[in-house]
Chain A
């Protein structure tokens, strides 16, 4: 038997390899396209806590890019309130313990624009969830390896958008802003795709089945 395997090692291994490839290609399913069902009103979500919050427990820092979409072209309903998160201290159910130390935050908006308590607590949960997404990405991140990466040693920043379903599955992902290097864009997408995200808490984005996120991955070979 051994000598049979050895004598015909080449055709056997070639057949085996071709079979494996065929089965794999057969089992490939196209990525789930986003079934964007954005019937809920658009809200800009920020995770800017008020200055009076207790000190952070986690050592991670979130540097928020405060971006306002200048003119969201919506075909559906207009956003109810275009406001940053400024939870009124009295209504916060529990002091969020997972906030990181912030870089100087926005000044608090006038009272007229402050959001009602219900929306505030959901925004806190959303910020906590965003932190968990960040942790998942930190765990999955990797700098590309291989001949091309060794010879090019690229550095750059790729901005990735990704859509997560309520149950934590990744629905779709893509490059929002290319780093200029395919290697880094691929590694960025791969990081997002490999991440395992938790299910949404009930009060995070309660009206939505999916939420869109974005992350900036700043690559540098470092050594």
Chain B
């Protein structure tokens, strides 16, 4: 009797899979079969798109298109995930165009792995992340977050915490031209245009291209943000699960920075204090405390080119080949310097300039053998990360003659004829990860066990060129590798309820800042820094019902060898060093409940208790009392909620995010109070016209009740101590006041 092709087939018979489908009448159902019919399976995203019915055996949260659509088109990715459990995100202003930051389970964004469509976007040298460089939210389909454990096949070598993935939209099946215009407070405006070809060439190809320009003034002080962005994606469908996708993301931002203030400065100067408005006069030397807003900038441009080949070689064998190229160029910070290496000394525009080329490739082979889903692959990347610090002159108006520092003809030369460079580093890094995962389904798919292993490593080749600011030439090579196992288990109690458990090891290679400034007194010190590692445990429960979706997990993170500024006793210098171990434990809960046909509520709750285990060694026999203290900017309690109303053409969201009291220093001698931030996001679908389809009006209010609040200005470097001798007052970003934006969108 003819038996239709079976998935569960042994490895030796894989080759027959190529032959059998051609022979059997695949669409025929055997004579004795009862056809139950067709069932449509959609991925539901309740809570207005704030949660999905997850079944991955690890703590994971997702924000989908429906939720992204409700927020302002000016927002950046970190703002869009702010309500998710475990996320403590901040933005320098309401629009997000100036940038922002993120902490998750106590880890800063430079300790987390961030990808866009699978391409890593953390800085190649120090793993920093700049959310204003990511995509337009209009083209963002979903953002997923794994709070604790980095995914086995994720291309990260700087993630001691979990990972965050941005997924961009596919081109639409129908051709379409979309226009969006946003206007808002502080002269904010954004124009977005996207053209979709729809399915062409017999339904095989679809593409889109979009361009946007967004600008806004700073909400305090002078200056603005200016962002230009282009997205392109093209999908070639070769049939039977095979496709080739090409994508391009291009971003160019030019922003004036917002000034951070210490508590003392807020009290004396007021929260709206910003950089100076008086430009420097030619020929005058200014002290380091002088500021001018137009010399405190962050120009940055980057692009990511991706190509993805996804090939379903047989119904049980899949090959993915995904090369990419990342390029970034820019500078940032307070660019006003006094150059003393020329005679006479002169005020110049000079700050760190970074240029990075990063080609890489991820290759993955997946197969199904009986009840095992196996995946194996390699990620390989070579990055060329060049950091210099030239100086250019100021013009008579006090502005830089070359804010992008891109024309070498502008570089100020020393007496010897060589351009001045405050630093000149070249970091060549070769990163790779060989990964393997086995997902085993047992007990009629009620129990799923995922075993993963990745061998991840990076080879650094750092060269410090001879410069006026950076010391003598030296070259250091170092390698860091680790085997990182992980285990995830999920047990389905019934169709609605599941329990899950996950344990995974994460790894973060030292940033290349550990190689700076090692030349002193004629010798080159050898860095003694080991990688950060952490073991993350999740234990959770999920409920996926018709009107209620909920997920909760207990977590414990065992974090070792945190890297921060500390005392290297071997080299007897203060440098980036391993400063000790810590633990973080807590609870993350989220749920969406549709309590009436038109009303639902999404809520999240996070409890985090971090604990540093050792005192911080900052000098020879000098210790700071950090043992028993909590990490700064890691509040014990955070809560988020969004009340949603959907009826006909109207959609309203009233959201609130409570961020509890946070410490500002490692010794916990300064803290900043908790606050609740409300926002309102509404949209109205206008009646369709003959020419314009889908006309929509959006109205977004950030900080609805004009709450005053402060954010910590942190990465993974914290202020050690505020009080006492040698203490440094930590500085804060002042939270933006109430900000409105209105957007009109229509399709042709």
Contact = CB atoms under 8 A, between A and B. Distances in A.
Contacts of B608: none
B615 interface: no
A17 interface: yes
A114 interface: no
Contacts of A194: 444-446, 492, 495
A145 B41 contact: no
A182 interface: yes
B141 A67 contact: no
A212 B30 contact: yes
Contacts of A220: 40-43
A223 B146 CA distance: 20
Interface in B164-188: 165, 167, 170
B495 A139 contact: yes
A72 B31 contact: yes
Interface string B325-364: 0000000000000000000000000000000000000000
Contact of A216 (B6, B37, B45, B153): B37
A181 B242 CA distance: 9
Contacts of A73: 1-2
Interface stretch (A91-99, A104-112, A148-156): A148-156
Nearest to B316: A182
Contact of B165 (A141, A143, A150, A212): A150
B34 A141 contact: no
B312 A180 contact: yes
B64 interface: yes
B41 A217 contact: yes
A65 B362 CA distance: 42
B118 A151 contact: yes
B36 A215 contact: yes
B117 A151 contact: yes
Contacts of B2: 73
Interface in A180-208: 180-182, 185-187, 189-191, 193-194
B38 A216 contact: yes
A74 interface: yes
B535 A42 contact: no
Interface in B527-559: 535, 537, 544, 558
Contacts of A142: 41, 53, 55, 544
B427 to A, nearest CB: 28
A9 interface: yes
Contact of A21 (B54, B141, B451): B451
Contact of B1 (A65, A75, A150): A75
A186 B373 contact: yes
A24 B449 contact: yes
B39 A193 contact: no
A44 interface: yes
Contacts of A182: 312, 315-316, 318, 366-368, 373
A63 B38 contact: yes
- For chain B, the bracket of interface size reads 35 or more
Given A75-B1, A180-B312, A174 B34 contact: no
Nearest to B375: A148
A42 B315 contact: no
A146 B56 contact: yes
B404 interface: no
A178 B317 CA distance: 12
Interface string A33-63: 0000010001111000000000000000011
A69 B444 contact: no
Interface string A138-181: 11111101111011111011000100000000100011111111
Contact of B7 (A134, A175, A212): A175
Given A44-B31, A70-B28, A214-B36, A191 B442 contact: no
A119 interface: no
Contact of A187 (B41, B447, B489, B492): B41
A222 interface: yes
B32 interface: yes
A43 B39 CA distance: 24
B33 A214 contact: yes
A141 to B, nearest CB: 5
Interface in A84-103: none
Contacts of B36: 62, 130, 133-134, 137, 213-215
- Most B-side CB within 10 Å, residue of A30, A214, A223: A223
Contact of A178 (B146, B315, B370, B451): B315
Most-contacted residue by chain B among A24, A44, A177, A212 (CB, 10 A): A177
Interface of B: 1-2, 4-8, 25-45, 49, 52-56, 60, 62, 64-66, 117-118, 141-142, 144, 146, 151, 153-154, 165, 167, 170, 239-242, 310, 312, 315-316, 318, 366-368, 370-371, 373, 440-442, 444-447, 449, 451, 487, 489, 492, 495, 503, 535, 537, 544, 558
11 contacts: A63-B38, A145-B56, A147-B144, A153-B170, A177-B4, A177-B26, A178-B7, A178-B241, A185-B315, A220-B40, A223-B142
Sorted from nearest, which 5 A-B pairs have the closest CB atoms?
A: A180-B241, A143-B43, A222-B42, A178-B315, A69-B31
Given A70-B28, A143-B43, A182-B315, 15 more contacts: A21-B449, A28-B442, A31-B8, A31-B370, A31-B371, A141-B39, A145-B54, A150-B142, A177-B27, A178-B315, A185-B368, A214-B35, A218-B41, A223-B66, A223-B142
